[in-house]
């Protein structure tokens, strides 16, 4: 059941709340005004209402939509975990007032996590509404556009075939043991944790050696580890088939059996793919297996190489970032795979027109976005100045055009998006997505962008206020 957004203040808290309201925060106060928007609250309420049939009127009271919106924004503004969010809001008068909790009890971190997960379907709509507010306040006019792509890592350990096999053996053994504890007639579960640990350590030690003897030890270690993985996989698939046929009567908790059966069906195909790619690399010499699995838990992760010397290979997803004036990120998109940057140019223009109703006067990006087709397309769509630096040897006409003053100024302005991406990654913790699954990844990136936009809008409004006060004093 949805909680109301209007609440009666306790009589005993009224005097104390009046004093607490005197505590000012230069960042949160203007953001508090921006979030006091009926359409934003309605979007969050709509997401909560779709969580279950009749969720608007039945069930336990949920977190009120306005409180959920503010808690989610505060978490990403500060870069906190769910546990830190609970602790900080519980112990701070400023944060209680910002999130509208005041004297009411604070939910625990698990409740925050479950409710935040409901916002995945409306994250794009919340972002679009924030951009609409920025347009209304004349913070973002959409006259200029710069775009770039970056890699956001998933929350996984560095993937090696040995550690992926170790993960697969562990999760399949755990799920099979849970079924055996709750069902009659399940096969005996053998725990290979120690044996697997020793095989992985042998492989890691052998991998450090470049001699032929080290290569032989590496192959022997993988042979033993693969044998253990195949045995565990066969047992897990047998248990899954027996459960599907009804040959294992449940005598314990049916809920635990359902959860374990889901894990078996989910992880068994992934472990089989890991076994296949390990055999192809170790025994077949194929280091470029198509559809390589880099994580059993974040299977949507991709292997991406962007040419960085300090980090040549990254594991995550490619994200497109579009920025307009005053540091407002007007668009973002989580790409599938590792497409060339040139393919992201048209979607960037499309999203800009969707938000602002017209193309930008000037659009720019780095050399990776350059192609003659992209330039022509931008011109035909009404972009007056297209600043895409060409690649390779340039003709005299092209070289002269790129030396023109407006082109050089556009390229210098384009460089600012590198700082915006760095701000998103370090200030707003977007370097590594902390939410689980492909949907959680997109939701995490979206709320990092939304929080960054709220801060940029608050700073612009603060600068305007200071300038107005200065002009008023000078006039007096």
Q: Are 341 and 237 members of one domain? A: no
Domain-located, residue 87:
yes
Q: What is the mean pLDDT of residues 280-296?
A: 89
Q: Are 315 and 169 members of one domain? A: no
CA distance 133 to 135: 5
Q: What is the mean pLDDT of residues 6-18?
A: 71
**pLDDT of residue 4 exceeding 90:** no
Return the bridge partners of 364, or none.
146, 387
CA distance 294 to 316: 9
Residue after which a domain boundary falls, among 282, 313, 348: 282
Q: Are 454 and 306 members of one domain? A: yes
Domain-located, residue 265:
yes
User: Please, which residues have CB within 8 angstroms of residue 292's CB and are 6 or more apart in sequence?
Assistant: 277, 303
Q: Are 185 and 321 members of one domain? A: no
Confidence class for position 286, pLDDT limits 50, 70, 90: confident
Domain-located, residue 432:
yes
Q: What is the pLDDT of residues 159-188, one digit of tens each?
A: 999 999 999 999 999 999 999 998 888 888
Q: Are 208 and 112 members of one domain? A: no
Q: What is the pLDDT of residues 237-270, one digit of tens each?
A: 999 999 988 888 888 888 999 999 999 999 999 9
**pLDDT of residue 1 exceeding 70:** no
- Going by C-alpha positions, the residue among 182, 272, 291, 157 that lies closest to residue 226 is 272
Q: What is the pLDDT of residues 110-146, one digit of tens each?
A: 999 999 999 999 999 999 999 999 999 999 999 999 9
Phi, psi of 334 (to 5 degrees): -90, 115
Q: What is the pLDDT of residues 15-27, one digit of tens each?
A: 777 777 788 888 8
Q: Are 20 and 113 members of one domain? A: yes
Q: Are 254 and 308 members of one domain? A: no
What is the structure's pLDDT at 468? 87
What is the structure's pLDDT at 209? 84
- Going by C-alpha positions, the residue among 456, 434, 460 that lies closest to residue 75 is 434
What is the structure's pLDDT at 373? 94
How many domains is the chain partitioned into structurally?
Answer: 3
Rg of the chain's alpha carbons, rounded to an integer?
Answer: 27
Q: Is 154 helix (H, G, I), strand (E, B) or coil?
A: strand
Q: Are 238 and 178 members of one domain? A: yes
Domain holding 220, by residue range, is 161-282
Q: Are 320 and 267 members of one domain? A: no
Domain-located, residue 1:
no
Residues, the chain: 476
Residue after which a domain boundary falls, among 255, 282, 309: 282
CA distance 28 to 17: 17
Q: What is the DSSP string of 100-129?
A: T-TTSPPPPHHHHHHHHGGGGGGHHHHHHH
CA distance 199 to 177: 22
Domain-located, residue 8:
no
Q: Are 309 and 445 members of one domain? A: yes
- Does the global pTM surpass 0.75? yes
- Token pair belonging to 427: 């200030």
Name the average pLDDT for the chain: 91
Q: What is the pLDDT of residues 328-382, one digit of tens each?
A: 999 999 999 889 999 999 999 999 999 999 999 999 999 999 999 999 999 999 9
Confidence class for position 11, pLDDT limits 50, 70, 90: low
Q: What is the mean pLDDT of residues 66-88?
A: 95
CA distance 375 to 384: 11
Domain-located, residue 192:
yes
- Going by C-alpha positions, the residue among 120, 117, 140 that lies closest to residue 34 is 140
Q: Is 251 helix (H, G, I), strand (E, B) or coil?
A: coil
Q: Are 46 and 174 members of one domain? A: no
């Amino acid at each position: 059941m949805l909680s109301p957004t209007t609440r009666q203040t306790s009589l005993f808290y009224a005097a104390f709340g009046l004093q607490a309201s005197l505590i000012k925060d230069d960042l949160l106060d203007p953001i508090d005004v921006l979030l006091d928007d009926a359409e934003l609250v309605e979007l969050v309420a709509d997401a909560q209402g779709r969580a279950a049939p009749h969720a608007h009127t039945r069930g336990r009271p949920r977190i009120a939509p306005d409180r959920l919106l503010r808690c989610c924004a505060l978490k990403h503004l500060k870069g906190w975990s769910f546990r830190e969010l609970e602790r900080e809001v519980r112990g701070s008068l400023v944060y209680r007032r910002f999130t509208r909790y005041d004297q009411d009890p604070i939910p625990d971190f698990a409740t925050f996590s479950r409710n935040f997960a409901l916002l995945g379907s409306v994250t794009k709509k919340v972002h679009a509404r924030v951009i609409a507010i920025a347009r209304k306040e004349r913070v973002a006019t959409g006259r200029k556009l710069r775009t770039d792509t970056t890699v956001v890592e998933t929350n996984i350990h560095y993937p090696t075939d040995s550690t992926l096999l170790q993960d697969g053996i562990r999760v399949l053994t755990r799920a099979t043991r849970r079924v055996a504890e709750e069902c009659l007639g399940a096969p005996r579960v053998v725990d290979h944790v120690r044996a697997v640990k020793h095989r992985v350590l042998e492989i890691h030690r052998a991998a450090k050696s470049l001699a032929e003897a080290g290569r032989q030890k590496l192959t022997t270690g993988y042979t033993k580890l693969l044998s253990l993985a195949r045995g565990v996989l066969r047992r897990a698939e047998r248990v899954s088939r027996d459960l599907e046929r009804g040959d294992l009567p449940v005598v314990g908790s049916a809920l635990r059996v359902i959860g374990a059966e889901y894990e078996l069906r989910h992880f068994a195909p992934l472990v089989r793919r890991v076994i296949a790619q390990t055999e192809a690399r170790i025994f077949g010499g194929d280091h470029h297996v198509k559809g390589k699995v880099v994580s059993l838990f974040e299977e949507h992760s991709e292997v991406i190489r962007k040419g960085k010397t300090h980090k040549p290979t990254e594991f995550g997803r490619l994200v497109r970032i579009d920025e307009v004036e005053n540091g407002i990120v007007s668009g973002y998109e989580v790409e599938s795979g590792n497409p060339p940057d040139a393919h992201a140019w048209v979607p960037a223009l499309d999203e800009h027109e969707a938000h602002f109703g017209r193309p930008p006067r000037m659009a720019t990006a780095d050399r990776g976005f350059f192609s003659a087709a992209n330039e022509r397309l931008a011109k035909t769509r009404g972009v007056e100045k297209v600043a895409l630096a060409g690649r390779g040897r340039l003709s005299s006409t092209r070289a002269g055009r790129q030396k023109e003053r407006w082109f050089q100024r556009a390229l210098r302005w384009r460089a600012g998006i590198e700082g915006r991406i760095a701000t998103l990654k370090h200030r707003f913790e977007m370097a590594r997505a902390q939410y689980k699954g492909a949907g959680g990844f997109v939701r995490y990136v979206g709320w990092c962008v939304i929080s960054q936009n709220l801060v940029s809008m608050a700073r612009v409004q603060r600068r305007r206020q200071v300038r107005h006060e200065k002009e008023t004093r000078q006039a007096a």
